[in-house]
Structure 1
Amino acid sequence: MADSDSYLKWAAGLLDQLPAGWTSTLAVVRTPIVPSQGQIAAAVNGTRFDTDQPPSVVHARGLRRLAERIRPDVVLVACTGPVVDVLVSDVFDGLSPRPVFVSGLPGISIPATEKAWLYRGGCDLFVVHSGREVEEFARIGKELGAEGSVALARLPYLDQAVARPAAADQLVFSSTTAPPNRVVFATQAKVPKRREERESILLALAGLAAARPDLDVVVKLRALETERQTHNERYHYERLWRQLVETGAVRDGAVRFAAGAMREHLAEAAAFVTVSSTAALEAIAGKVPLLVLSDFGVSAEMINLVFEDSECLGTLEELARGDFRQPAAAWRDANYFHDPAVSDWVVKLAALVDQARTGGLGPVRPLLDGPGHAAARRRARLRVEVPPDVLRVGYRAGRRVRRYLKALG
């Protein structure tokens, strides 16, 4: 089960890595960040769930009934932290037979954080995607006293990518051929945070489009303005672009905005750019030259620290002149592009299933428990139980009451 577009994409791809004899059912948890039907279709694109019957959106009690009916060996909780905690520790509490609980993170997870483990402390298996991530999360889990283990998987998007012969880093095309001519900018909801930083990216993309009218410059959106995503996006790029057009800073139509499946955009891409996005790894897998913008810093806060020493970091100035990169081979091997044979998550999962079937798994022991966490878990329970529209009305009413009380002094 998944609760957002990014987790749904990860879950669908991860389930595709299971052995042929395993069967799986995928559902979307109804929360305030539930993906739209368009986002659901894009997330499962190219997986076994890409059918005429997309995954259903189900509330928490419906998930419990589904689990009681299926009696699964494994429950994959591909959700944001608080939702993982409340589903494993509350909604699925007392399931019989006791399933193996698996969770993980849907993309780049360097540096590893305690918070990610704390919410997933009740899970038996924590799936990550590089040797470095395994080492860091295993260390943190041991320090926190987590009973679950860490396992390695290939990021599922990487094996879905259609690799082409390596393209030139400079955007130079032969007049006798018709190669891909799309430059894809992948947005990230969390970074950069400041409005002017986001505007500077749009200006650089407009500069590239003006200098190279032969290019199709595309801003690939994670969500339309009317859609929700894993993290809130205060300054939506499409809205900022309209405002820049109104002030005359850019030419209307110089770049275009599109949603849909990233793999389909990359299939037509001559180059790729982002500030921080797991899609950069998809571009690398497809041998698409890229830039990871460093103008706003290279740090844990910018979620791009992992790209140090990759030789893919670059600037807005380099973007505007169409100067893209291929990653260093040593960096690829150390970060996400390990041999699939090294991945051990399926082996570890199968061992846990055998243990569960013989009654060898004890009760779930979350790291976040007791009176100190009770209020937070109640709030998380509301997120998975109450219809999102009703919950948003409650949030707005609560904010108005707090503002009123503050005004009274």
Structure 2
Amino acid sequence: MMTRPDRSPRLRVVAIADADSFVKWSAALVDSIPDASRHLLLVRTPLLVSADQEHAALAGTGFTEGSVTRLEYDGLAAWLARDRPDVVVISGRGPFVRVVQRQIDRVHPRPVVVTGLPGMSIPAQRGALLYRRHSDLMVVHSRREMRAFDELGRRLGAPVNLALATLPYARRKDAGSSGTDLVFAAQAIVPRAAEDRRAIADLLRRAALADPDRRVVVKLRSRPERGETEAHQELSRYPELLHDRPANLVFSYEPMAEALTRAEGLVTISSTAAIEAMARGIPVIALDMFGVKKAHLNTVFAGSGVFGGAEDVIARRFRHPHPLWMRDNYFHDPAESTCWGQVHDLVARRRYGQLPARPIPQPRGGPLHLAWQRKSVLGADDHTLAGAVAVAVAAPVVRAILTLRRFRGRNGAMTWSDDTTDFTVSPARHQDPIVRRRQTALVAVD
């Protein structure tokens, strides 16, 4: 049911999201705004969080049941027109950001539009920037990310208004390592190859057998058997790879913050959970068993001192990051985080009619392309005839484009094969289907 929440006259902020990692990030980010009235809109897409995922994502924030609304995409503009927020934070994959901003373009007066990414964003990616370039402000979370996205915007001829904010999970808690669990933060697409995921499963099994008195906890984000999804499609799932496992190797779907309360250390390839652990003083191993590459999203840890291999995991030789690396990567002085000051300035300009609109331009291809963009995000939740026609007509073209991309723009300077830069001007390496529970040609590109 669409309701207008009881909101105070303070800065009125609405976060809009769908998938679990984006719900977690936007809720934590908005929760950090001082003296603000907050609400969260969950838009129905094939990636929408389940009730359990929502509970895990909102754990530790001030969001309650009354401050969260689930609604259909077509009801979004009307809801915002009634609520009249000052600021909207759009949190989702690039195509989601684009179609949501099209709805916001229909709202008068138009709120300040803020976008961002839900964790570590090195390398800065082409799609991440281009899909968000029409927002008033794009949030990044480290000085290194500021440099990378600024340079990427110049290279692409698409400068963006960047703002530095402390990553919500990087707020220091200084709890230290007091538990005994080895927590592995699983990722849906890192590593992607089935043989690499089998190698990790085997490593976790060996780590558990090496010390039967201590647990190895595989922290997962979704249960497909319950209809749950994630922002990216996982092709080889650890519960399937570890169906035959020691008793002390267990799976967990609890919030990461809870898993870390019992952690001796955290292991991952490139999950933002590493930053969450570091903030608590919990040591980390960033696995380099497949190399340090942009493709594994782990070049961000270069110079951190936390890289380790299989034997380090088995022996539980966790590491703490170097202080100089921390200052440039997610643990800068909080005084450098000017995001909310910039937001207040934008709101003031808006109130005086001095904030120019930044509408999403109409795509080449006209109404059919618009229908495709909508259908590619909403999937089965789009019931329009235009969407059905767009799938029939555009799907073969999109497949051809994606096939071509696999062979172009992957090599050379500043691409995915160039591990010396913190950004990539080439398209995303992988495209996930949005409708995942049946065969479909729908694809979103980020």
TM-score clears 0.5: yes
Q: Secondary structure at the match of 2:37?
A: coil
Aligned to 1:176: none
Distance in 2 between the 1:373 and 1:254 partners? 57
Distance in 1 between the 2:69 and 2:25 partners? 16
Contact map agreement 1:130 1:153 (CA 8 A) in 2: yes
Equivalent residue letter for 1:264: E
Distance in 2 between the 1:34 and 1:330 partners? 38
Aligned to 1:229: 230
Which stretch of the first structure deviates more once superposed, 388-397 or 298-307? Answer: 388-397
Which stretch of the first structure deviates more once superposed, 138-147 or 284-293? Answer: 138-147
Q: Secondary structure at the match of 1:23?
A: strand
Equivalent residue letter for 2:189: K
Aligned to 1:173: none
Give, in angstroms, the shift of residue 363 of structure 1.
2.5
Equivalent residue letter for 1:234: L
Distance in 1 between the 2:312 and 2:72 partners? 47
Contact map agreement 1:208 1:320 (CA 8 A) in 2: yes
Alignment of 1:301-316 (within 5 A): 301-316=295-310
Aligned to 1:61: 74
Q: Secondary structure at the match of 2:224?
A: coil
Q: Secondary structure at the match of 1:14?
A: helix
Aligned to 1:406: none
Give, in angstroms, the shift of residue 224 of structure 1.
1.7
Q: Structure 1 residues 306 and 98, CA, compared in 2 at 3 Å: closer, same or farther?
A: same
Q: Structure 1 residues 231 and 326, CA, compared in 2 at 3 Å: closer, same or farther?
A: same
Match of 1:73 among 86, 93, 113: 86
> Percent of aligned positions with the same letter in both sequences?
39
Aligned to 1:163: 174
Give, in angstroms, the shift of residue 94 of structure 1.
2.9
Aligned to 1:210: 209
Distance in 1 between the 2:222 and 2:325 partners? 30
Contact map agreement 2:117 2:139 (CA 8 A) in 1: yes
2:327 paired with 1:297: no
Distance in 2 between the 1:211 and 1:23 partners? 50
Contact map agreement 2:38 2:67 (CA 8 A) in 1: no
Distance in 2 between the 1:7 and 1:79 partners? 6
Q: Secondary structure at the match of 1:218?
A: strand
Report 1 or 2 for greater relative contact order, CA contacts < 8 Å, sequence distance ≥ 6: 1
Equivalent residue letter for 1:84: V
Give, in angstroms, the shift of residue 196 of structure 1.
2.0
Number of residue pairs matched?
Answer: 376
Scaled by the length of structure 2, the TM-score of the pair is 0.79
Give, in angstroms, the shift of residue 214 of structure 1.
2.1
Alignment of 1:200-279 (within 5 A): 200-226=199-225, 227-242=228-243, 245=244, 250-251=245-246, 253-279=247-273
Scaled by the length of structure 1, the TM-score of the pair is 0.86
Give, in angstroms, the shift of residue 397 of structure 1.
6.3
Q: Secondary structure at the match of 1:24?
A: strand
Q: Structure 1 residues 317 and 298, CA, compared in 2 at 3 Å: closer, same or farther?
A: same
Contact map agreement 1:223 1:229 (CA 8 A) in 2: yes
Contact map agreement 1:40 1:54 (CA 8 A) in 2: no
Q: Structure 1 residues 352 and 258, CA, compared in 2 at 3 Å: closer, same or farther?
A: same
Aligned to 1:24: 38
Equivalent residue letter for 1:38: D
Give, in angstroms, the shift of residue 375 of structure 1.
4.9
Aligned to 2:58: 44
Alignment of 1:327-406 (within 5 A): 327-366=321-360, 369-372=362-365, 375=368, 377-383=370-376, 387-388=380-381, 396=438
Q: Secondary structure at the match of 1:371?
A: coil
Distance in 2 between the 1:396 and 1:271 partners? 38
2:133 paired with 1:121: yes
